[in-house]
Structure 1
Amino acid sequence: MADLKAFSSGLKPRLSTDTKIVGSEETPARWDDVCAPAPSVIVYPRTEEDVAETVKYCREQGLKCLAESGGHSWSIKNSGDVKVLISLRELNTVTVAEDLQSVTLQGGTLIGELIAAAAAKKVDVTTGVCNGVGALGSLLHGGIGRYIGSHGLGIDNLLSVNLVDATGKLHKNVTESTHAELWWALCGAGTSLGIVTQATIKAHPQLNDGMSWAGVMFFVGDSKLEKLLKLVNETKLETNMGLQFLFVCPPPLNFQPSILVAPWYYGPEEEAKKTWKPLLDLEPDVIQMDMLPPEKLNDFQEPFCDKSGRKPGLGMGLETFDIDAYKEIWNLYVKFVTENPEAGRSVVLAEAYPKAKAMSRPREATLFANRDIRFECVCVPWYENASFDIKANAFSASVREIWLQKCGHPDGRKRVYPAFAGVNEPLEHLYGEPERLEKLRAIKAKWDPENHWSALGV
């Protein structure tokens, strides 16, 4: 427990004027309540130096601290040890370089803010598909999302970072050239090695004036499930395509269990409809597709990004949508949400993007190991009452077991996208072979020998 008055009086003289320090009653909402920290103090730094001083002061006082931007990570271990939350939200400036070749963003920037700033200058950046998520939290764990077909993973577009280490030292302009080993580990587990207060990433020229064909299609019930699964399995995603496939109970359809398909095409509408004609020919019950600018592409994701409730999800990387397996998962999902109306917002999600560009970079170049996963999937039970945890965990575990048995890698490897990993996910599922983990632990020991960032999962 940190005494707010004593903590504030000791730290405030070391920070920028008007830096806000508040008590636990003003703890920011997180996406998932299951392992959310319950800090005694929340600090809102106004500069990178404020972040460094806050970490130093916490170390002097023997207090564990944790930084957050969007607050969407659910894989926070030892969350009860966190006494001080460092909210980076006031560090959210985004600057597009004059030559339009790069974008610099501060650590508290959200994906929606990054996209809006880039779009205003008519450039694209690789980033995630949920506007409220912290841009750097998503990027440093791989950076799956639109445009990776053209430009690769988020980490492949990272040029430099500023980082506060576990002692409170601010390291500016960290690059692959200046800190090769640290850079390797940052590209996959960045938030476990320090607080990244700023990053510079590549920018790319827009295509088609930035306009994409995007939106959602709903299929009520499972009458077309087999045809949809066959289509998804057979579709070869080209550079300018992407797809999301979900089991949901959407309010517009009276909360009936439904299949949501969200295709994406970066190009003219005529080309998009021709490309996705097999999907359109299945005649969705509801179709909401349009030509959209980049700042509108994530709008349909907003309900999934709501900060409320408990969401103890489990992820898995899949090689195929086995039809029998997904029929079984559908039946499990329908039974779960029908028998438990309090969990009606639960989802089973799969994302698919073209991976040739991402796979063109050697796997050994970064800690991020699973560049060739075909479908990044996650099962997310969503409810309010902690008494429902056991039932929810049993449901997600059942879904994951089906994925493992029938949809996984032929050699039995278990692979998980770090941003979709549950709190107790084994590191080898995220980062690969023992020698890679040994290298990661050696780098961790150098940069955080006391494991101050233990709450972050490494």
Structure 2
Amino acid sequence: MTTLQIKGEVIVPDRSTPPSQSVSRWSDKGIIAHPALVVVPESEEDIKAAINYAQSTGLQVLPAGGGHGSFVPIGSKTLYMNMKQFNQVSVNSTAHTITVAGGVLTGQVIKAVTEKGFYTTWTNSNAVGFIGGILGGGNPTLAGIHGMQIDQVLSVRLVTGEGKALEVSPSSMGDELALFNAICGAGHGFGVITSLTLKIFPISNLHLAEEGVWVRRLIFPPPALETAATVFEKLQPLSPESTAALVFARAPPTAPKPGAPMVILTVTYYGPATDAESAFPILFDKAVTSKTIVAVTAPTQLAKLNDALAHFDVKGDRKDIQSAALSKVVPETITTAFQKWLVFTEQYADAKRTTLVLSSYSKDKNMEISQSPEGKARYFDNRDRGFNVLIFSWSSTDSTEAASNEFSKEIKALYRSGSLTSELPRTLLNNIAPDTKADELFTENQAKELKRLVGVWDPTCLFWRPLI
């Protein structure tokens, strides 16, 4: 029998224990069982040895960073490659670049760059695997200024299914260039990413106040929902420096009224605070603030912006994130979505932490990038959408998980029905559901090219990949 010998750990799961004892994921939702092996490589040589072992034993390799892909199946034929030992981050202040190893979490990147006086694009969870987020396109907090995370990538180093270490970049040629472009937005399943280099930017470019990023937060009770929805509509279109989020959530156990439904409107401005205050007078209008429970301006250091969402980073339970990218949202859709959310979270006691987020940002930069050769080559077809609805479902029982799936489908359909009737359904690759089709993510030509590239780079289907 073939044996696997590497410097890193090789763990044979104890099948008498729950699968979560073998693989610690953000969510226990979906198709998950004990993998055949858990491998923790310490070097590219370890990765190559694990790939050769998988090839000879008929296992499928699944590289894992933060473990947030609730849509990713794990089974008895999976070689689960935990990349946690690839945890280095290197900031080059002179070249304005950062190199991130394959197992680094987003929080590590934020800490490393901000300590050096820089920032880059990142997702809004410190616990998400940084590279995993990029492979699906990324949904960064600074998209209005810089575009998507994939637009910052300068080079990618990976180990292919042939066990070959390879570095690809925009200067690559032929199928290596095609591989680089595919990794930027449709990157799951083309190899094991060992590191990635991307652009960083001086924080001083943002001209922030000493207190940090300008954040204005209004919390409304349910009777003031219509006001909140109207204000959100009037904020549009946003400037490139701004983002807005309208959130439906229940108050935490530490609140004066635990479990009470809330409507939270947050506007963030990545620029001078004086500019922000003059840009959003409606957020200070007494006719609006008089209907709130809380109305505060809460400047936040750039490095700590994600901390407010840390309670979502806990592992376990049946959690999922699904989303729909939209061109338009009307207040009537928002109010209907709230009522459906309210009924659902009241009906299912273990689903009260389910949260709806409607976010918006300026799409101008993304549209500009879409006209460039580099932008056209990337695998991200949502650049014309300035809104994103995110359904964050959280439950703890089988029956509620099934109901959560239906609820997510219903909310996506609702928001899409209120958008432009002629536009194609679009979502983010990292937020797919079991019934998501490839044409919800890629154009017909992109899907064909991805299938061709699978034949070039992974003809034996050694690696797990979604959809293609």
C-alpha distance after superposition, 1:83-114 (max 9, x if no partner): 32111112111111140411001011111100
Letter aligned with residue 66 of structure 2 = G
- 1:414 matches 2:418: no
Q: What TM-score, normalized to structure 1? A: 0.90
| Counterpart position of 1:37 | 32
Deviation at 1:455, TM superposition (A): 4.5
Of the candidates 59, 64, 67, which is equivalent to residue 55 of structure 2?
59
C-alpha distance after superposition, 1:120-162 (max 9, x if no partner): 1101111111110011111222222122222221111100001
Change in CA separation of 1:289 and 1:100 when aligned onto 2, cut-off 3 Å? farther
Of the candidates 253, 257, 260, which is equivalent to residue 256 of structure 1?
260
- 1:405 matches 2:417: yes
Change in CA separation of 1:59 and 1:174 when aligned onto 2, cut-off 3 Å? farther
Deviation at 1:315, TM superposition (A): 1.9
Superposed counterparts of 1:14-163, under 5 Å: 15-16=6-7, 19-24=8-13, 26-35=21-30, 37-38=32-33, 39-76=35-72, 78-80=73-75, 82-163=77-158
- 1:304 matches 2:312: yes
Q: Are 2:217 and 2:298, in contact at CA under 8 Å, matched by a contact in 1?
A: no
Change in CA separation of 1:393 and 1:99 when aligned onto 2, cut-off 3 Å? same
| Counterpart position of 1:205 | 202
Deviation at 1:70, TM superposition (A): 0.6
Please give the alpha-carbon distance, in whole angstroms, between the structure 1 residues aligned to 2:76 and 2:438.
21
Of the candidates 433, 436, 439, which is equivalent to residue 425 of structure 1?
436
| Counterpart position of 1:382 | 394
SS at match of 2:394: coil
- 1:445 matches 2:455: yes
Please give the alpha-carbon distance, in whole angstroms, between the structure 1 residues aligned to 2:138 and 2:305.
17
Of the candidates 176, 180, 183, which is equivalent to residue 180 of structure 2?
183
Q: Are 1:59 and 1:167, in contact at CA under 8 Å, matched by a contact in 2?
A: no
Superposed counterparts of 1:305-384, under 5 Å: 305-361=313-369, 362=371, 364-384=376-396
Please give the alpha-carbon distance, in whole angstroms, between the structure 2 residues aligned to 1:162 and 1:266.
32
Q: What TM-score, normalized to structure 2? A: 0.88
How many pairs align? 443
- 1:230 matches 2:238: no
SS at match of 2:193: strand
Change in CA separation of 1:204 and 1:275 when aligned onto 2, cut-off 3 Å? same
- 1:11 matches 2:11: no
Please give the alpha-carbon distance, in whole angstroms, between the structure 2 residues aligned to 1:216 and 1:86.
41
| Counterpart position of 2:18 | none
Q: Are 1:151 and 1:357, in contact at CA under 8 Å, matched by a contact in 2?
A: yes
| Counterpart position of 1:396 | 408
C-alpha distance after superposition, 1:7-51 (max 9, x if no partner): 8xx223xx33xx222243542421221225332422221223322
Deviation at 1:445, TM superposition (A): 1.7
Q: Are 1:163 and 1:174, in contact at CA under 8 Å, matched by a contact in 2?
A: no
| Counterpart position of 2:277 | 273
Please give the alpha-carbon distance, in whole angstroms, between the structure 2 residues aligned to 1:260 and 1:294.
21
Q: Are 1:67 and 1:86, in contact at CA under 8 Å, matched by a contact in 2?
A: yes
Letter aligned with residue 191 of structure 2 = G
Please give the alpha-carbon distance, in whole angstroms, between the structure 2 residues aligned to 1:364 and 1:259.
38
SS at match of 1:163: strand
Q: Are 2:12 and 2:37, in contact at CA under 8 Å, matched by a contact in 1?
A: yes
Please give the alpha-carbon distance, in whole angstroms, between the structure 1 residues aligned to 2:246 and 2:26.
21
Please give the alpha-carbon distance, in whole angstroms, between the structure 2 residues aligned to 1:339 and 1:424.
25
SS at match of 1:329: helix
SS at match of 1:228: helix
Letter aligned with residue 262 of structure 1 = T
- Identity score, percent: 25
Q: Are 2:106 and 2:122, in contact at CA under 8 Å, matched by a contact in 1?
A: yes
Letter aligned with residue 194 of structure 1 = G
Please give the alpha-carbon distance, in whole angstroms, between the structure 2 residues aligned to 1:376 and 1:305.
20
Deviation at 1:297, TM superposition (A): 0.6
SS at match of 2:266: strand
SS at match of 1:131: coil
C-alpha distance after superposition, 1:369-406 (max 9, x if no partner): 11121112222321011232332222222212212222
Please give the alpha-carbon distance, in whole angstroms, between the structure 2 residues aligned to 1:143 and 1:338.
32
Superposed counterparts of 1:285-296, under 5 Å: 285-287=293-295, 289-296=297-304
| Counterpart position of 1:3 | none
CA RMSD of aligned residues (A): 2.2
SS at match of 2:178: helix
Letter aligned with residue 37 of structure 2 = V
Please give the alpha-carbon distance, in whole angstroms, between the structure 1 residues aligned to 2:284 and 2:315.
33
Structure 1: where are the runs of 5+ without partners? 1-5
Please give the alpha-carbon distance, in whole angstroms, between the structure 2 residues aligned to 1:220 and 1:145.
29
SS at match of 1:395: helix
Q: Are 2:213 and 2:301, in contact at CA under 8 Å, matched by a contact in 1?
A: yes
Deviation at 1:264, TM superposition (A): 1.0
Letter aligned with residue 39 of structure 2 = V
Deviation at 1:212, TM superposition (A): 0.8
Structure 2: where are the runs of 5+ without partners? 15-20
Q: Are 2:232 and 2:265, in contact at CA under 8 Å, matched by a contact in 1?
A: no
Q: Are 1:112 and 1:131, in contact at CA under 8 Å, matched by a contact in 2?
A: yes
